């Protein structure tokens, strides 16, 4: 059929099942927005393109399908980049559309022109620039396919204005073939067998679950495997929620601010079963003393992750869910008894011994107490997003999660300002869930303009500001490693977050005493509008335990 | 152990594909000595030849990371001992006297090079071969005064029936 480029874009989006777009229009994307005007696709106008990208990312992570964002050319496009890089580092399927100057003007330094294809090459899984109106349906089909399959990631489509306005005969393909893109899903039977054999030989196995378990929906298989072989489970930040932290075999998160029991278990393990993790430096500590006694089974859909940071003795390339199914089947066929009884007992002993304290009554508030109250308040299907820094690590360490896709955090890039717009996206994806952003005052300020968006669109999320008037993580490092020379970390007294919330039309409240936390949470979630709770916390409270940079996981200090 | 590895990538012939490849090598901190590109027997598919320095682990990472690029269709490592490696160089050399001119022509013949341009005080010699041969010829020309050198970078092909083909 013959249609305008913009019409073809909207039609292709509908065919992909896109229900919502986060974005901001501009000169180079007006034709697209003119077409959206008549469409059923919901458009949420954010107040900064970074907010749109993070919201699409939060939506994608909450739902497991692609989130879509849109910006105009030039500054609109460059404002998306932090959000795209965030999604790239955490393997999140985001499809970003950018307006572009008309083809004839490309390369002429036209008004609001920028080379967004060149800029985003290193931070996208792939990107496209439309050169012919007729190719629009196929490119969009490819973009969604690439974003959502294999190891997911962001894909950007650059839309020159004349491509949106021009007409062509178009056809909408049902599927696409990409010669250079064939992800491996099934594990190689020989590797599965080798892994099973190693598992049955192990006396001190530990399962390390990463974000890949959540992406592939492998939580049921993970639980089955852990119970079958009686192995304790630790998770990375990205894997939090893949295994219920209330489970007897759960040891919580590992890493720089992980649980002591998790770090000890990995250090003493004789077998590490790593699933869907890229062995980030924040998870491993110094690599040379990471899991020093363990053989490593590394299951990952991305072959390039195998052997990148940590050597793998038994690599298995494939999708976590399918590989775990294969592995469970093979283990059952082998019908051997797990030899882990003594190990699990030792771990349980550690778990009791190292159980972190959270019930502080101090004023100003201890963050542990606030986290505990939030954790107790939420249901297991509710969603926690985080900003980045101490607030993130307090949530990471202390806030137990039981279900996948209920803990959303910028793990790889560590993007301050991520949590609030991501919460907005998550709430749009799962309106029935309570959604709370665990924020620091520094991070919240980086995308605070999105208060206008959530108010205008009745996206009733709650922001819990852990307000210490510092860039707390930097301050902590300066305290511990730079002789308490607090350089450029004091945020002073501005703003008043309650008044800011109110000025935007949100509900705002301040909490200074532990006894007030629960009521404040109830009121915030019942406010009938977005809410900000300003928790005044102990200014120089540190996040412990901590593995100092360049040290081994077992060198964790409290 | 650090070695030079010869990598051949078949890529879709699209705008920006060289930038994707070279950008990847840069962002992953890989060292490349030479990179060249040209058409293949398959329409729409180009062939990039790279020489990469590093140990086995580095080589494996380079190949895996290249494979992740959507427009990269196939990545192979070729063993230099079982392959033909060639480079083409154009060398513009001063010939201030008749004697010099005759000598340069003689050297070019010995190296199976060709004189492709002759001017009053200079000549352009085309020479093809492996890196050592090209380097040796350039060394010989230095005495006459080299005005300009243009080298293509290395390209490589396995000897025998084996060939680098896209996956079916």
Interface contact A118-B16, CB threshold 8 A:
yes
Judge if A23 and A57 occupy the same domain: yes
Query: Which sequence spans correspond to the domains of chain B?
Result: 3-78, 84-155
CATH number of residue A42's parent domain: 3.40.50.970
Confirm or reject contact between A177 and chain B (CB < 8 A).
no
Q: The sheet that has A271-275: what strands, in order across it?
A: A250-253, A233-235, A205-209, A271-275, A295-300, A314-317
| pLDDT classification of B11: cutoffs 50, 70, 90 | very high
Q: What angle do CA A21, A457, A89 make, to 5 degrees?
A: 45
Confirm or reject contact between B167 and chain A (CB < 8 A).
yes
Judge if A239 and A148 occupy the same domain: no
Identify the pLDDT of residue B1: 74
- The span from the CA of A82 to the CA of A71, in Å, is 13
Low-confidence ranges of chain A (pLDDT < 70): none
Q: How many residues does chain A have?
A: 558
Is A354 an annotated catalytic residue?
no
* CATH homologous superfamily of B84-155: ACT-like. Chain A, domain 2 (3.30.70.1150)
CA distance A36 to chain B (A): 30
Judge if A109 and A8 occupy the same domain: yes
- Size of the A and B interface in Cβ pairs below 8 Å: 45
Residue A200 lies in a domain: yes
Phi then psi for residue A466, to 5 deg, are -85, 90
Residue A418 lies in a domain: yes
Identify the pLDDT of residue A335: 76
Report whether pLDDT(B168) > 60: no
Residue A362 lies in a domain: no
Query: From the candidates A144, A180, A298, A308, which should be mutated to test the interface with B, based on the most B CB atoms within 10 A?
Result: A180
Query: From the candidates B18, B23, B68, which should be mutated to test the interface with A, based on the most A CB atoms within 10 A?
Result: B68
- Which of A473, A476, A497, A525 is catalytic? The answer is A473
Residue numbers in A near B20 (CB within 8 A): 121
Judge if A432 and A512 occupy the same domain: yes
- The span from the CA of B100 to the CA of B149, in Å, is 18
Residue A47 lies in a domain: yes
Residue A553 lies in a domain: no
Residue numbers in B near A121 (CB within 8 A): 16, 19-20, 23
Confirm or reject contact between A303 and chain B (CB < 8 A).
yes
User: What are A553's strand-pairing partners?
Assistant: none
- The span from the CA of A512 to the CA of A365, in Å, is 6
Judge if A143 and A204 occupy the same domain: no
- The span from the CA of A436 to the CA of A406, in Å, is 10
* CATH homologous superfamily of B3-78: ACT domain (3.30.70.260)
Judge if A267 and A322 occupy the same domain: yes
Same fold, B3-78 and B84-155: yes
Residue numbers in A near B11 (CB within 8 A): 180
CA distance B83 to chain A (A): 25
Residue numbers in A near B24 (CB within 8 A): 122
- The span from the CA of A479 to the CA of A490, in Å, is 13
CATH number of residue A296's parent domain: 3.40.50.1220
Q: How many residues does chain B have?
A: 168
Tell me if A25 sits within 8 A of A75, measured CB to CB: no
Is A161 an annotated catalytic residue?
yes
Is A128 an annotated catalytic residue?
no
Interface contact B70-A302, CB threshold 8 A:
no
Residues A353-372: tens digit of each pLDDT: 999 999 999 999 999 999 99
- The span from the CA of B3 to the CA of A258, in Å, is 39
Inter-CA distances, A381 with A222, A406, B117, Å: 18, 6, 77
CA distance A165 to chain B (A): 23
Show the domain range for A490: 367-536
Out of A309, A324, A353, pick the residue that ends a domain.
A353
Identify the pLDDT of residue B99: 94
Q: Count of domains in chain A?
A: 3
Residues B36-95: tens digit of each pLDDT: 999 999 999 999 999 999 999 999 999 999 999 999 999 999 999 999 999 999 999 999
Judge if A72 and A47 occupy the same domain: yes
DSSP secondary structure code for residue B112 in this structure:
T
Judge if A303 and A209 occupy the same domain: yes
- Which of A11, A16, A35, A49 is catalytic? The answer is A49
Judge if A349 and A376 occupy the same domain: no
Interface contact B23-A146, CB threshold 8 A:
no
- Which of A141, A161, A366, A427 is catalytic? The answer is A161
Instruction: Give the three-state DSSP class for A203.
Output: coil
Residues B122-167: tens digit of each pLDDT: 999 999 999 999 999 999 999 999 999 999 999 999 999 888 888 7
Nearest residue in A to B28, CA atom: A122
Interface contact A180-B64, CB threshold 8 A:
no
Tell me if B156 sits within 8 A of B47, measured CB to CB: no
Judge if A345 and A382 occupy the same domain: no
| Prediction ipTM score | 0.92
Interface contact B65-A304, CB threshold 8 A:
yes
CB-closest option in A125, A181, A304 to B64: A304
Residue A547 lies in a domain: no
Judge if A222 and A130 occupy the same domain: no
Judge if A51 and A122 occupy the same domain: yes
Residue A402 lies in a domain: yes
Residues B103-128: tens digit of each pLDDT: 999 999 999 999 999 999 999 999 99
């Amino acid at each position: 059929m013959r249609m305008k480029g913009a019409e073809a874009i909207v039609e292709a989006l509908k065919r992909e099942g896109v229900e919502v777009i986060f974005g901001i229009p501009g000169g180079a994307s007006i034709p697209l927005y003119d077409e959206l005007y008549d469409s059923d696709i919901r458009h949420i106008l954010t107040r900064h393109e970074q907010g749109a990208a993070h919201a699409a990312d939060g939506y994608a992570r909450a739902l497991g399908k692609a989130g879509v964002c849109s910006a105009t050319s030039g500054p609109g496009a460059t404002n998306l980049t932090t959000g795209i890089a965030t999604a790239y580092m955490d393997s999140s399927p985001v499809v970003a559309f950018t307006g572009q100057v008309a083809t004839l003007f490309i390369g002429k330094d036209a008004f609001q022109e920028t080379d967004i294809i060149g800029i985003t090459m290193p931070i996208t899984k792939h990107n496209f620039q439309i050169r012919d109106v007729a190719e629009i349906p196929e490119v969009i089909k490819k973009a969604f396919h690439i974003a959502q399959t294999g190891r997911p990631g962001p894909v950007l489509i650059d839309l020159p204005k004349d491509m949106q306005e021009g007409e062509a005969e178009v056809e909408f393909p049902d599927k696409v073939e990409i010669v250079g893109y064939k992800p491996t899903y099934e594990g190689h039977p020989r590797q599965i067998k080798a892994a099973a054999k190693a598992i049955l030989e192990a006396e001190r196995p530990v399962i390390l679950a990463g974000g890949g378990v959540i992406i592939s929906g492998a939580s049921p298989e993970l639980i089955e495997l852990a119970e079958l072989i009686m192995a304790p489970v630790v998770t990375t930040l990205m894997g939090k929620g893949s295994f219920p932290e209330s489970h007897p075999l759960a040891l919580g998160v590992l890493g720089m601010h992980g649980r002591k029991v998790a770090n000890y278990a990995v250090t003493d393990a004789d077998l590490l079963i790593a699933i869907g993790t890229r062995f980030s430096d924040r998870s491993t500590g110094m690599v040379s003393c990471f899991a020093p006694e363990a053989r490593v089974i590394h299951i990952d859909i991305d072959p390039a992750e195998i052997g990148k940071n940590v050597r793998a003795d038994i690599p298995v390339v494939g999708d976590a869910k399918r590989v775990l199914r294969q592995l469970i089947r093979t283990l059952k066929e082998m019908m051997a008894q797990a030899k882990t009884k003594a190990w699990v007992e030792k771990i349980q002993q550690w778990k009791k011994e190292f159980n972190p304290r959270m019930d502080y009554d101090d004023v100003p508030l201890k963050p542990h107490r606030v986290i505990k109250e939030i954790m107790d308040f939420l249901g297991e299907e509710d969603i926690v997003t985080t900003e980045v820094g101490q607030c993130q690590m307090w949530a990471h360490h202390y806030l137990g999660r039981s279900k996948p896709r209920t803990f959303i955090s910028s793990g790889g890039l560590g993007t301050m300002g991520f949590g609030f717009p991501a919460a907005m996206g998550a709430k749009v994806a799962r309106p029935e869930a309570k959604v709370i952003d665990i924020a620091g005052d520094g991070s919240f300020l980086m995308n605070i303009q999105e208060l206008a968006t959530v108010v205008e669109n009745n996206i009733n999320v709650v922001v819990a500001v852990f307000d210490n008037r510092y860039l707390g993580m930097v301050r902590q490092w300066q305290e511990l490693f730079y002789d308490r020379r607090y350089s450029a970390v004091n945020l002073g007294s501005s703003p008043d977050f309650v008044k800011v919330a109110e000025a935007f039309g949100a509900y705002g409240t301040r909490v200074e005493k532990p006894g007030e936390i629960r009521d404040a949470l109830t009121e915030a979630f019942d406010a009938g509008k977005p809410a900000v709770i300003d928790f005044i916390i102990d200014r120089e409270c540190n996040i412990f335990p901590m593995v100092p940079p360049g040290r081994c996981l077992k060198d964790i200090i409290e | 152990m650090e070695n030079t590895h010869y990598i051949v990538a078949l890529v879709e012939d699209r705008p920006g594909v060289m930038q994707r490849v070279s950008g990847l090598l840069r962002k992953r901190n890989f060292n490349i000595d030479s990179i060249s590109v040209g058409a293949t027997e398959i329409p729409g598919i180009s062939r990039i030849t790279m020489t990469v320095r590093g140990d086995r682990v580095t080589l494996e990472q380079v190949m895996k990371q290249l494979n992740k690029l959507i427009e990269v269709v196939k990545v192979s490592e070729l063993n230099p001992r079982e392959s033909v490696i060639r480079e083409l160089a154009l060398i513009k050399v001063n010939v201030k006297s008749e004697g010099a001119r005759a000598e340069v022509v003689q050297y070019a013949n010995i190296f199976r090079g060709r004189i492709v341009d002759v001017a009053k005080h200079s000549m352009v010699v085309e020479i093809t071969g492996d890196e050592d041969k090209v380097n040796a010829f350039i060394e010989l020309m230095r005495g006459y005064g080299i005005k300009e050198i243009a080298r293509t970078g290395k390209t490589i092909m396995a000897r025998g029936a084996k060939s680098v083909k896209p996956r079916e």
